[in-house]
Structure 1
Amino acid sequence: MEPNLRVCFVLSVFLGVIVFVSSARVGRASHNYRYGVIFDAGSSSTKLHVYRWDRNSLPTKKADLTELKLSGTRKVRPGISSYVASPQFVKTALILLLYSAKAAVPKELHSSTPVYLKATAGMRLLKPADADAIFDQINELFQNPTFNPFKFERGWAKVISGEEEGVYGWITVNFLKGVFDSKTDMKTFGALDMGGGSTQITFLPTGQFYANLFPLYIAGKRYDLYTNSFLKFGLDQFRLQMYQYLYQQATDKNATIENPCDLQGYNSAVDIGDSKVAKIKGGFTSVNNIQGKTDDFCALSYAQATNQSGEYGYTRCAAGNYIAALLSDGYKIDRNATDKVYITEEINGVEIGWALGSMMYELYLLNIQFATGSASHVTATSLDLILASLSLMWTS
């Protein structure tokens, strides 16, 4: 199953809204388009995405699918998992996003526009009863036409599996690379998704395999994908477990603990769970066989890092080292190769994110007749593996 091929990693380090934007009413009349709404419910925020495509055909290339510019609120904090103690308050934040979506989609098309809320690793970490309580409130909101004029069915608001998240990221990457618009079999691109709570790997392998199979029909073809998700191996969870380990090793639990993976000048009390707080102080670290830019960043002080990289700049020293370790020790990528890693924020002018792939998936699921007639198995003679850090801790 393992590809014995050249492997290319693309790391997307900054995520916001898709940069390819337009007004909802530019161009042809609104009745010539269809619209779809995605709520990306991450561990620390919920982001709104509104898409538009031609009503007479399903998108196969970037130009066919547009993400609209939003005039109102497009992201709310905290993530929906934070409402575990008071589930009823989750509605207030989501109503703001619904207002923005209503303004972006022409009123006459509200009732035919599907809306989905898909939650990721933050909700996966909750107890089932706690997650159900939050989704009871969300379903109640989305089924209330006073607040939600869009088409919604029970089950369209849910926690997606890590495997689904990985597949959506794979769809995004391959859609933006033009794979689905190809008239002949074209090499596909793998996707490694580094999130806050989990990390996913998804690609089209050569040969037979049975575990972690995800059959996908899209743009008239079938792709038997390998996808795997590792819960608690995302960047947020890595930092939490790192602090828990340092706390456990400390002789004096009340003393400030020096952490070689944090920056000089960083000094903070960190909640590590079970009513325990670790006092963490940053220190300089130089890791052998680590990407040079990560080492350079780790040499900065906490003040320099936050001034240079914003509010979450302090996380990047530890995150860079963790990503390098994950690639080399976890996925066995050659540390010394100079042609394996390519760092980018976007593909063909569009920033990478799983929400676009999720919209594509739902389009083809709702319009399966477009795909079943000419479905065929696709084999990959060449595979590029893209590391798409879709929802890094510092941008969530």
Structure 2
Amino acid sequence: MDQPKGSKLWKGTRPKYVIIGFLLVGAVIGLIAVAVSQYHPSTRNHKYGIVLDAGSSHTNMYIYKWPAEKENDTGVVQQIDVCEVEGPGISGYASDVGNAGPSLKHCMDKAKEVVPERKYRDTPVYLGATAGMRLLRMENASTAKSVLSGVEATLRSYPFNFRGARILSGEEEGAYGWITLNYLLGNLREAIWPSFLPRLFARPGTIGALDLGGASTQITFEPNQDTSGSSEYMLNFHLYGKTYSVYTHSYLCYGKDQALRLKILNNVKGSSTARIQDPCFLKGYERTMNMIDLSKNPCTARSFHPKSFSILHIEGTGDYEQCLAGIEDIFNSSGCPSSSCSFNASFMPPLSGQFGAFSAFYYVMSFLNVTEQPMDEVIKALKAFCSKSWAKVKADYPKIKEKYLSEYCFAGTYVISLLGKRYNFTKEKWSDIRFLGKVRDSDAGWTLGYMLNLTNMINAEQSFLRPLSYICHICLMVVFSVMVVLLVVVGYVIYRKPKCLKKEAI
């Protein structure tokens, strides 16, 4: 029986296809293997760090991870977990010191689950206390010391490498927040922010940081003008091979919680009765306050004058304009000893560049849904919110805690006063602010900056040794790439061989 025409040609070419196919698959596998093995990090070389942010109202625990091979002596740190400690901040345990440390156990137990057991002994743990503890230290230094001692005892009981618990200065808090923000946005190390993603900030260089807590507020940025005459406001950092000189200042007692107390104190001064009306609270809202809270608080004690009543009754009237006027009175804008000031005779150079506002700045603007709105729209939203009744607001936001919900009118108005009139973010400059909660899955705040700075003091493990030298890696990548291209071309030529080159089957 005759064979079909062309069968001899197929038999003659089949081995070629098989050989070329094997070589092509091998070349592709080799190319992928060289690329992956060269850049795949070893999990053994990851380091971990734990930072506890002991704020005035609550404590958060952050867990960070970075590769042992550091870049320019600073670890490439990323946040991998966060845990909110139940209860108040550690300063809230002033009258119950014994429970300050145990309050952290739930989150520290969680840290044992997140950090690999073999890394426990090499994982540093730091606790940084902020404005709440700064105020407690001013009020009662021995109590503040006892609270920190109790916290240290609990943290030492865990198998991690406890490095200390201390009270940060306001300037440190502001500067570390600046580091966090610029790190996450890729301004300290360009490779952090992928080039194909749009940037949140268009201008080159670093951006300023605006932080608002419960007891203090901070502003930090790189000034354009010479500030050599005000060196006490300047801090220097060396990160990723560069040195940064930034202006930073912290205003203790001007966090949103303490600022509210300052305003209430002003209301009490002009009243002879135990009942006052406050335009910063919504209509129909009522609150009582023990006068001891004003007489013993370091932020209000100096200006407090004893009254005949011990309990203060506050009734809300809900009026933005009157609230703004009352807030203006808590700032002192006179007596600037230098060329330019913010308030309370504190030097501040002219604003430069763009700014990121986080913590309570973000939470308040996010609640009002105005994080991306111009100043006029923010004020419009505030006026509308402050004019609502307390009953309506409670019905509209049933899941928000009463303490926060009742203070949003005040907090939003305070943000306008602080940023607009004290920091000089005018309507034109308001667009330079971006309100940020998280950037690249990491919280904006001082803790990551603290961790980044501390990695300069942590000895690196043995660096991860790549299987190939740089030259050898490049050569193999080129060889395998050329092989893939050549084999594809040869296979195509054989398959589509011109008729003039084919032998007629007999």
Give secondary structure in 2 for the equivalent of 1:52: strand
1:268 aligned residue: 287
Asked if the contact 1:123–1:159 (Cα under 8 Å) also holds between the matched residues in 2, the reply is yes
Asked if the contact 1:47–1:76 (Cα under 8 Å) also holds between the matched residues in 2, the reply is no
Q: Are the structure 2 counterparts of residues 47 and 204 from structure 1 closer, same or farther at C-alpha, using a change threshold of 3 Å?
A: same
Q: Which deviates further from its counterpart, 333-342 or 43-52?
A: 333-342
Deviation at 1:29, TM superposition (A): 6.1
1:356 aligned residue: 448
CA distance in 1, matches of 2:383, 2:165: 41
1:35 aligned residue: 48
Q: How does 1:63-78 map to 2 (within 5 A)?
A: 64-69=76-81, 74-78=84-88
1:191 aligned residue: 209
**1:243 is matched with which residue: 264, 272, 275?**
264
Deviation at 1:323, TM superposition (A): 1.1
Give secondary structure in 1 for the equivalent of 2:144: helix
Q: Are the structure 2 counterparts of residues 171 and 260 from structure 1 closer, same or farther at C-alpha, using a change threshold of 3 Å?
A: same
Give secondary structure in 2 for the equivalent of 1:169: helix
Deviations 1:249-287 (A, max 9, x none): 22212x3x2100111221111235138432111112132
**1:89 is matched with which residue: 82, 99, 102?**
99
Asked if the contact 2:180–2:446 (Cα under 8 Å) also holds between the matched residues in 1, the reply is yes
Q: Is 1:317 aligned to residue 409 of structure 2?
A: yes
Deviation at 1:316, TM superposition (A): 1.2
**1:221 is matched with which residue: 226, 237, 242?**
242
Q: Is 1:166 aligned to residue 174 of structure 2?
A: yes
Give secondary structure in 2 for the equivalent of 1:264: coil
Deviation at 1:338, TM superposition (A): 5.7
Deviation at 1:37, TM superposition (A): 0.3
Q: Is 1:46 aligned to residue 136 of structure 2?
A: no
Unaligned runs of 5+ in 1: 1-26, 369-396
Q: Is 1:278 aligned to residue 312 of structure 2?
A: yes
Deviation at 1:236, TM superposition (A): 0.6
Asked if the contact 1:116–1:157 (Cα under 8 Å) also holds between the matched residues in 2, the reply is yes
Deviations 1:311-352 (A, max 9, x none): 112211101111111122211222465634433433345442
**1:200 is matched with which residue: 204, 208, 218?**
218
Q: Are the structure 2 counterparts of residues 58 and 103 from structure 1 closer, same or farther at C-alpha, using a change threshold of 3 Å?
A: farther
CA distance in 1, matches of 2:429, 2:179: 27
Q: Are the structure 2 counterparts of residues 169 and 317 from structure 1 closer, same or farther at C-alpha, using a change threshold of 3 Å?
A: same
Q: Is 1:130 aligned to residue 143 of structure 2?
A: yes
Asked if the contact 1:50–1:101 (Cα under 8 Å) also holds between the matched residues in 2, the reply is yes
- Normalized per residue, the structure richer in strand is 1
| TM-score of the two chains, using structure 1 as the length reference | 0.77
Deviation at 1:192, TM superposition (A): 1.5
Q: Which deviates further from its counterpart, 260-269 or 301-310?
A: 301-310
Question: Identity of aligned pairs, percent?
Answer: 31
Q: Are the structure 2 counterparts of residues 39 and 182 from structure 1 closer, same or farther at C-alpha, using a change threshold of 3 Å?
A: same
Give secondary structure in 1 for the equivalent of 2:284: coil
Deviations 1:84-142 (A, max 9, x none): 12312212101222111111101110000000010110000012222111112222223
CA distance in 1, matches of 2:290, 2:74: 45
CA distance in 1, matches of 2:71, 2:234: 25
Give secondary structure in 1 for the equivalent of 2:247: strand
Asked if the contact 2:74–2:240 (Cα under 8 Å) also holds between the matched residues in 1, the reply is no
Deviations 1:170-212 (A, max 9, x none): 01110111011138x9511011211110111111123242221
Kindly provide the amino acid, as one letter, of the partner of residue 66 in structure 1. Q
Higher relative contact order (CA 8 A, sep 6+): 1
Q: Are the structure 2 counterparts of residues 38 and 305 from structure 1 closer, same or farther at C-alpha, using a change threshold of 3 Å?
A: farther
CA distance in 2, matches of 1:350, 1:357: 11
- Which structure would you say has the larger Rg? 2
Q: Is 1:140 aligned to residue 146 of structure 2?
A: no
Aligned length: 332
CA distance in 2, matches of 1:80, 1:32: 34
CA distance in 2, matches of 1:247, 1:297: 25
Q: Are the structure 2 counterparts of residues 187 and 294 from structure 1 closer, same or farther at C-alpha, using a change threshold of 3 Å?
A: same
1:393 aligned residue: none
CA distance in 2, matches of 1:214, 1:354: 15
CA distance in 2, matches of 1:129, 1:327: 36
Kindly provide the amino acid, as one letter, of the partner of residue 181 in structure 1. R
Deviation at 1:61, TM superposition (A): 11
Q: Are the structure 2 counterparts of residues 190 and 42 from structure 1 closer, same or farther at C-alpha, using a change threshold of 3 Å?
A: same
CA distance in 1, matches of 2:93, 2:320: 39
Asked if the contact 1:258–1:282 (Cα under 8 Å) also holds between the matched residues in 2, the reply is yes
**1:182 is matched with which residue: 190, 197, 202?**
190
Q: What RMSD, in angstroms, separates the aligned Cα atoms of the two structures?
A: 2.8
Q: Are the structure 2 counterparts of residues 59 and 90 from structure 1 closer, same or farther at C-alpha, using a change threshold of 3 Å?
A: farther
Asked if the contact 1:46–1:75 (Cα under 8 Å) also holds between the matched residues in 2, the reply is yes
Give secondary structure in 1 for the equivalent of 2:101: helix
| TM-score of the two chains, using structure 2 as the length reference | 0.61
Asked if the contact 1:189–1:203 (Cα under 8 Å) also holds between the matched residues in 2, the reply is yes
Unaligned runs of 5+ in 2: 1-39, 192-202, 297-309, 325-375, 461-506
CA distance in 1, matches of 2:72, 2:84: 24
1:234 aligned residue: 255
